[in-house]
Chain A
Amino acid sequence: MADLTTNFIGITSPNPFWLASAPPTDKEYNVRRAFEAGWGGVVWKTLGEAGPPVVNVNGPRYGAIYGADRRLLGLNNIELITDRSLEVNLEEMTRVKRDWPDRALIASLMVPVNEDSWRDILRRVEDTGCDGVELNFGCPHGMSERGMGSAVGQVPEYVGQVAHWCKKHSSLPVIVKLTPNITDIRKPAQAAKDGGADAVSLINTINSITSVDLDLFSPEPTIDGQGAHGGYCGPAVKPIALNMVAEIARDPATRGMPISGIGGVTTWRDAAEFLALGAGNVQVCTAAMTYGFKVVQEMISGLSQYMDDKGFASVDELVGRAVPNVVNWQDLNLNYVAKARINQDECIKCGRCYAACEDTSHQAIAMSEDRVFTVKDEECVACNLCVNVCPVEGCITMEPMAAGAVDPRTGEVVREDYANWTTHPNNPGKCAAE
């Protein structure tokens, strides 16, 4: 079994699966159960300033999007930072860290944007023995109205400033948690790096209204007939998160900066994808909230098996492996030609590929009287829609054409060499091929 021990900015944990700062990590009771279940680390739910804690709504905090059989695909929340006192949280963190020294314990923090506030809380947090801090610049609801959370994360200058204060007043590793509610994720990441942060974590939740009650005409979750936007997370946001992680991993200004990947990690496979795109570990919330802490055991066994299969001795060998293959569109090889192939032995004759292609794509699938579906190579542009809508995995595949063959669609010979848009004759701004 592969060794999943992870060293993330100097913080070791027995595996790369951390629980994100969120309801599952709000108190000692939950965190102990999480560690007993096998989680490698925990980012304790965000601490605020000393004094009276924030209050939460007393109605529903969550809304959800479902797939088949009420499989939860997306979760939205309007919960604020911890609503328990700072002192209680710090005491509990101290006890937990003492009893679980091999697990990562990170304090998530959110206080107003002034140096004194950050200095004060950092001092108190350091006394718990925790391994690092994560600056919550992501929370998109409630706290942002008070000038914190995503209100900070959306202004790169503030991000850099606070990161700088934290490094100045604490020896703890600093992770900056980024909000996805911004046009270009690379800007706050770069600001965090420039401010001296050790790492970024992303994504926090996405501004969202999950649904509308069509009787009350109120957004869900509904509080006394009204609703506010919340933060969206869960499997549905993974593609957005993967892209943002990759953007930071491959941007020259931030390349190499440690990333803690967050956003819809539900299975070991999701985690491996984040790692391959440059994340040094992952943080999980919705999967635990949906299925309980035990899910980590599948993540651990699955990632181990995958690493064994691949011959990876450590998580580091997987981290970033896919980053060089993330390119801009203009760099894609236009000489690569593929065609859809339908495996007739696997086909169950539902005809979804035909309907999709005939109605919405390139009319490249033929349907016979007896429901045999075949690809018309002379029309197929290899768009992949048939693969995506086919209910049988592996029934339709995209097969590359061999160099030298003639593409029946274009009548042109498939070339072996690589050529992209930058040198294409149709590109008005093309540069001469070298």
Chain B
Amino acid sequence: MSDRMLDPGIAAGRLEPEQLSGNFSDLHPPLDDHEALVAADRCYFCHDAPCITACPTSIDIPLFIRQIATGTPEAAAETIFEQNILGGMCARVCPTETLCEEACVREAAEGKPVLIGQLQRYATDTVMAQGVHPFTRAAPTGRQVAVVGAGPAGLACAHRLSMHGHDVTLYDGRAKPGGLNEFGIAAYKSTDSFAAREVDWLMQIGGITLETGKRLGRELSLAELREGFDAVFLGIGLGGVNALDLAGEDREGMRDAVDFIADLRQAEDLAGLPIGRDVVVIGGGMTAVDAAVQARLLGALNVSLVYRRGRERMNASRYEQDLAAAKGVRIITNATPIAVHGNGAVREVEFEYTDDALTPTGQRFRLAADQVFKAIGQTLEGPDLPELDGRKIAISGAGRTSLPGVWAGGDCSAGGDDLTVTAVAEGRDAAEDIHASLGAQA
């Protein structure tokens, strides 16, 4: 432990640069050639394989693994990319333990699934390292499609539309494309600027014009987009953040976890990134875990993740919970925040224990806190959106909204898990539906 870890308050440089670079290196180092062959040999090439069914993008997993096993990772990558153009990122961030690998028959047989995620990364990394883009555009159709949001849904949609020969204008409100791949997600899952490299690689398809700094409701209006384009796809994610609605929520040191993660992802020098000595994360999803683990990795002495319900209700997978615990995060469940104490800056957060029905028990406790990250969910923001279903854009079929000519997918649309891989599937399927509808109009 370095001396600076004991410094109270929020401070930069709690750990030495070497420690930081070790902490933020690849969570799962890539498989080498031999490891990949050994792992691939374990696949049984199941009939109508359960792993394919479990994959939101329906990648033909047994086929790509067999292609790896026979020494053709390039063919394997093409099998993956045909279904999921962001197969490289999904190989890194998918909660495989609750998707393909949970369904793997070797999980049932031995509790040790085939390493599908790591094999997918092996194949996709191989092709991306070669700089090869395995797809080409169809003849131009002359059709123009606006894709709003350059996150996983928008990128997948734009790529598929471009493959079909349509011209795509891809808008994003931030200065860089990638969405949560670039600004969300723990840094140790996407090292060496992978998100940016993946976008560059994807854009090799051509026919996609990227326009950054364009946000719906500010620089862009949905009405104008509908006017100017043959179709519009909304993949705008969830721009807003839920509030705790507590007294003292505005105290210094209170932050949204998504902002902390975005700053961390964009930081040139992690040693310059300030972090509290005593950090409290409120929430139970992947964002909460990513924030808590990275706070520890930056050198926070005490990190507590507090969730109001029981552990089994946490949105973060068991694997992620265990990862957090292994990194020294204390997980407290069945506790609801009721007050933020301090004098200007936060000093303590007060919680009350609740039962599983969220009924307060009257038992309270306080946690010391220099810094509090709120990760209790994000919300859809923006004016003049299509009709909502609850708090998200209502869709029918492959992402059709209530507005003719407008499709939506990814986190902003109703239905499906808020996962990268789900967003890719929705973007891809909407693109196919847009393509079909444009063809029908011709």
> Chain B residues near A349 (CB, 8 Å)?
46, 50, 105, 108
Q: Is the CB of B105 within 8 A of A350?
A: yes
A348 interfacial contact with B, CB 8 Å: yes
Is B327 in contact with chain A by the CB < 8 A criterion?
A: no
Nearest residue (CB) in B for A67 is B41
B109 x A348 contact (CB < 8 A): yes
Stretch with Cβ within 8 A of B (4 or more), from A159-167, A195-203, A351-359: A351-359
Residue of A nearest to B48 (CB): A351
Q: Is the CB–CB distance between A348 and B41 below 8 Å? A: no
| Bound Cα distance from A351 to B52, whole angstroms | 13
- Is B210 part of the contact surface with A, judged by Cβ < 8 Å? no
- Rank and list the top 6 A-B pairs by shortest CB-CB distance, nearest first: A351-B47, A68-B41, A355-B47, A350-B46, A348-B109, A348-B105
B31-53 near A? 1/0 per residue, CB < 8 Å? 00000011001101111111000
User: Does A392 touch B at the CB level, under 8 Å?
Assistant: yes
A256 at the interface (CB under 8 A from B): no
Assess A348 versus B47: contact at CB under 8 Å? Given A68-B41, A69-B38, A69-B41.
no
- Which of B42, B45, B50, B105 counts the most A-chain CB atoms under 10 A from its CB? B105
Instruction: Write the nearest CB–CB distance from B117 to chain A, whole angstroms.
Output: 20
A70 to B35, CA, bound (A): 11
Contacts of B42 in A (CB 8 A): 68
Residues in B with CB closer than 8 Å to A351 are 46-49
Q: How far is the CA of A354 from the CA of B49 in the complex (A)?
A: 12
Q: Does B366 touch A at the CB level, under 8 Å?
A: no
Q: Does A371 contact B (CB under 8 A)?
A: yes
A239 within 8 A of B: no
* A349–B49 CA distance with the chains assembled, in angstroms: 9
A53 within 8 A of B: no
Task: State the B residues within 8 Å of A (CB).
Answer: 37-38, 41-42, 44-50, 105-106, 108-109
Max chain B CB contacts within 10 Å: which of A70, A348, A354? A348
Indicate if the CB atoms of B45 and A348 lie closer than 8 Å: no
A371 proximity list for chain B (CB < 8 A): 48, 50
Write out the residue numbers on chain A whose beta carbons fall within 8 Å of the beta carbon of B109: 348, 391-392
Instruction: Provide the residues of chain B in CB contact with A70, threshold 8 Å.
Output: 37
User: Chain A residues with Cβ under 8 A from B41's Cβ?
Assistant: 68-69
- The winner among B38, B44, B47, B106 for most chain A CB atoms within 10 A is B47
Please give me the residue from chain B that is nearest to A355 by CB atom.
B47
A69 to B108 CA separation, bound complex (whole angstroms): 22
Write out the residue numbers on chain A whose beta carbons fall within 8 Å of the beta carbon of B106.
348
Total A-B residue pairs with C-beta atoms closer than 8 Å?
36
* B47, A350: Cβ atoms closer than 8 Å: yes
Q: Which residue of A lies closest to B103 (CB)?
A: A349
Name which residue of chain A comes closest to B108, CB basis. Answer: A348
CA distance A354 to B106 in the complex (A): 17
In this complex, how many residues of chain A approach chain B with their Cβ under 8 Å: the count is 14
Q: A348-B109, A349-B105 are in contact. Are A354 and B47 (CB under 8 A)?
A: yes
Within residues 389 to 416 of chain A, which ones have a CB less than 8 A from any CB in chain B? 391-392
**Docked pose: A68 CA to B45 CA in angstroms:** 14
Residues of A within 8 A of B108 (CB): 348-349
Contact bitstring A340-351, B, C-beta under 8 A = 1, else 0:
000000001111
Residues of chain B within 8 A of A69, CB atoms compared? 37-38, 41
B46 touches A352 (CB 8 A): yes
Contact among B37, B38, B45, B50 for A352, CB-based, below 8 A = B45
Most chain B beta-carbon neighbours within 10 Å: one of A350, A352, A354: A350
Give chain A residues whose Cβ lies under 8 Å from the Cβ of B37: 69-70
A-chain residues with CB within 8 Å of residue B44 when the two chains form the complex: 350, 352, 391
Min CB distance A43 to B, Å, is 35
Contacts of A355 in B (CB 8 A): 47
Within the complex, what minimum Cβ distance (angstroms) separates A369 from chain B?
11
In this complex, what residue of B is CB-closest to A359?
Answer: B47
Nearest Cβ on chain B to A377's Cβ, whole angstroms: 21
How many Å from the CB of A153 to the closest CB on chain B? 37
Bound form: Cα–Cα A351–B47 in Å: 5
Contacts of B38 in A (CB 8 A): 68-69
Distance of A355 Cα from B108 Cα, bound (Å)? 19
Q: What 7 new A-B contacts, CB under 8 Å, besides A348-B109, A352-B45?
A: A348-B105, A348-B108, A350-B44, A351-B49, A354-B47, A367-B47, A391-B44
A351 to B45, CA, bound (A): 9
When C-beta atoms are compared, the residue in chain B nearest to A346 turns out to be B109
Residues of B within 8 A of A350 (CB): 44, 46-47, 105
A134 to chain B, nearest CB (A): 38
B41, B42, B49: residue with the most chain A Cβ atoms closer than 10 Å: B41
A351 to B104, CA, bound (A): 12
CA A350 to CA B47, docked complex, whole Å = 6
Contact with B along A61-93 (1 / 0, CB 8 A): 000000011100000000000000000000000
Question: Across the interface, which residues of A come within 8 angstroms of B50, CB to CB?
Answer: 349, 371
Identity of the chain B residue whose Cβ is nearest the Cβ of A373 in the assembled complex: B47
Tell me the complex Cα distance, A336–B97, Å.
Answer: 47
A370 → chain B, closest Cβ, in Å?
Answer: 10
> Whole-angstrom distance between the alpha carbons of A70 and B105 in the complex?
23
**Beta-carbon nearest neighbor of B62 in chain A:** A350
CA distance A69 to B39 in the complex (A): 9
Residue of B nearest to A68 (CB): B41
A-B contact pairs, 29 of them (CB 8 A): A68-B38, A68-B41, A68-B42, A69-B38, A69-B41, A70-B37, A348-B105, A348-B106, A348-B109, A349-B46, A349-B108, A350-B46, A350-B47, A350-B105, A351-B47, A351-B48, A351-B49, A352-B44, A352-B46, A352-B47, A354-B47, A355-B47, A367-B47, A367-B48, A371-B48, A371-B50, A391-B44, A391-B109, A392-B109
CB-CB contacts below 8 Å: A347-386 with B = 348-352, 354-355, 367, 371
Nearest to B53 among chain A residues (CB) is A371
Chain A, 46-69, CB within 8 A of any chain B CB: 68-69
| Bound CA–CA A355/B47 (angstroms) | 6
Docked complex Cα distance between A68 and B69 (Å): 9
Closest A residue to B40 by CB, please name it: A68
Q: How far is the CA of A350 from the CA of B44 in the complex (A)?
A: 7
**CA of A352 to CA of B47, assembled, Å:** 6
- Shortest C-beta distance, B67 to chain A (Å), equals 16
Give the complex CA separation of A39 and B186 in angstroms.
Answer: 58
The CB with the most chain A CB atoms within 10 A, among B37, B46, B48, B49, is that of B46
- Bound CA–CA A367/B109 (angstroms): 19
Minimal beta-carbon separation of B149 from chain A (angstroms): 37
For residue B41, give the distance in angstroms from its CB to the closest CB of chain A.
Answer: 4
Q: Which residue of A lies closest to B39 (CB)?
A: A69
Give complex CA distance A418, B50 in Å.
Answer: 45
**Which A residues between 321 and 351 are near B, CB-CB below 8 angstroms?**
348-351
The CA-CA distance from A349 to B46 in the complex, in Å, is 8
> What's the nearest-Cβ distance from chain A to residue B116, in Å?
14
Nearest residue, chain B, Cβ from A358: B47
- Interfacial chain B residues near A68, Cβ < 8 Å: 38, 41-42
Residues in B with CB closer than 8 Å to A352 are 44-47
CA distance A366 to B111 in the complex (A): 26
Bound Cα distance A355, B41 (Å): 19
Contacts of B47 in A (CB 8 A): 350-352, 354-355, 367
Task: Return chain B residues, CB-CB under 8 Å to A391.
Answer: 44, 109
In the bound complex, CA of A392 to CA of B38 (Å): 19
Cα distance A351–B106 in the bound complex, in angstroms: 13
A69 to B43, CA, bound (A): 12
Q: What residue of chain A has the Cβ atom nearest to residue B107's Cβ?
A: A348
